[in-house]
Each structure stands twice: as structure tokens, then as C-alpha cells.
Amino acid sequence: MERSFVFPILESPALWLVARILGTFMYWYAGLGFLLNFEGAVAAMQANGFTSSPAAIAALTIAVQLIGSVLVIQGRFAWLGAGMLAVFTLTTIPMVHDFWNMTGAAAVQAKLESEEHLTVIGGLIAISAFSHMMRIRRRGV
């Protein structure tokens, strides 16, 4: 019974596309938001301590978030897009969520965000691995 109901859903290309879209949601949504409100993006960079070239950092952030997301969603170079997003996410931990330099509620919040970031990175690694396996399967190797 499980085979007749669950497996076809799990093997569906549509489900895999939905997974890639949702797996990158926080990136493309933030990237679009920053793109539509670039002044707000620059202000966010300044608020996070990037006082030297905040506009360039905002532009780079938008580029990584949107290009990485598109690569994952379109699926052809999902490993590259997921890698871009994973490295970006990992670098935000010491740069923005440095809970070890904080105290009180701010430290707790930053630590939780760091832990969430690590979980997202794990998901991006899974997307990369699964994309590779799907490519091999399509080629019949």
C-alpha cells in the first residue's frame, strides 16, 4: 500500500521542484525584498556593522541570494547555487550572529539564529546531494 501512494509522490518532479523553491525561500524572498528596497538593504547592512561600503555589500548580498536561489530552483547547477547560499549563510554567523560577543536576550537570539543557519546549511547540502543523484539517475549511469 505504501508503494502505491507515497513513493510516486516522493519521486515526482513536481515535488522536487516545490522542495527546491521552498528550500530557497528565505533567500529569494529576502533578496527580492532588498532589491525592491535597496535603501533599506543598505540600512540593514549598516545596522549589522558594515559601515565600509554598505551599498556594495547589500548589492553582493542580493546577487548571492537571487543567483544562488535561481540556480537551485532551475536545478541544472543546483550544487553551485546551494554552495553559494551555504557559504553565504555560514559567513553570516561570525559576521552578524556573533553570540559569543553578546549578553542576555540578544546573545540567546543570535545563538538560536546561528543554530537555524546550520540547519539550513544541512538542507542545502541535502539539495546538492539529491540534485547530483537525480542527474545521475536521468543519465542512466
Per-residue pLDDT, 136: 85
**Residues whose CB falls within 8 Å of the CB of residue 38, separated by 6 or more in sequence, listed in order:** 55, 58, 62
Write out pLDDT tens, residues 45-91. Answer: 999 999 999 999 999 999 999 999 999 999 989 999 999 999 999 99
- Could you state, in order of their start, the residue ranges of all structural domains in the chain? 2-139
The CB density around residue 91, as the number of other CB atoms within 10 Å, is 12
Residue 2 scores a pLDDT above 60:
no
Residue 8 — very low, low, confident or very high, per pLDDT cuts 50/70/90?
confident
- State the Cα–Cα distance between residues 82 and 70, nearest whole angstrom: 10
Closest C-alpha to 82, from 125, 117, 111, 29 = 125
CB 81 within 8 A of CB 71: yes
